[in-house]
């Protein structure tokens, strides 16, 4: 299984496309995981989501470290954050078949270009 490469700047948008949680209940209320797609596709998306969450949490920690290191130097902070956002992470999880979500009829606007990166 070939790893999926994703820029750190794409982690949050991908997570939102896969599943958005209701802040009050903690339940998934938006995203592909609530759409009418096969259970197999939902399982694969769930695995991808878990891997993305791990990477996103690490990314958040790196942002905190950079902010701490840069202190009040806004120019240095901006430069460091730009570099951080360009970095790529690799996740080794199965890919889902893109055609399984191509015809999702929803009011939500999915970023299909971004979702193609995690599909086969």
Give the model's pLDDT for residue 48: 96
- Domain of 95 in residue numbering reads as 4-116
pLDDT of 67: 93
Q: Specify the pLDDT at position 1.
A: 80
Strands 4-7 and 88-91 come out as antiparallel
Q: How does DSSP classify residue 15?
A: H
Going residue by residue through the chain, which has 120 residues, state the pLDDT in tens, using 9 for 90 and above. Answer: 889 999 999 999 999 999 998 889 989 999 999 999 999 999 999 999 999 999 999 999 999 999 999 999 999 999 999 999 999 999 999 999 999 998 887 778 899 999 999 998
- The per-residue DSSP string of 56-88 comes to HHHHHHHHHHHHHHHTT-HHHHHHHHHHHHH-E
Counted domains in the chain: 1
What six digits make up the tokens of 17? 């496309």
């Amino acid at each position: 299984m070939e790893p999926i490469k994703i820029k750190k700047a794409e982690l949050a948008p991908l997570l939102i496309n896969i599943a958005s949680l209701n802040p009050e209940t903690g339940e998934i209320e938006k995203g592909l995981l609530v759409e009418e797609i096969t259970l197999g596709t939902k399982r694969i998306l769930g695995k991808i989501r878990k891997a993305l969450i791990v990477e996103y949490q690490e990314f958040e920690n790196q942002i905190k470290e950079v902010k701490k290191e840069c202190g009040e130097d806004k120019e240095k902070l901006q430069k460091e954050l730009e570099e951080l956002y360009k970095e790529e992470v690799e996740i080794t999880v199965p890919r889902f078949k893109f055609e399984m979500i191509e015809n999702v009829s929803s009011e939500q606007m999915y970023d299909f270009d971004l979702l193609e990166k995690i599909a086969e």
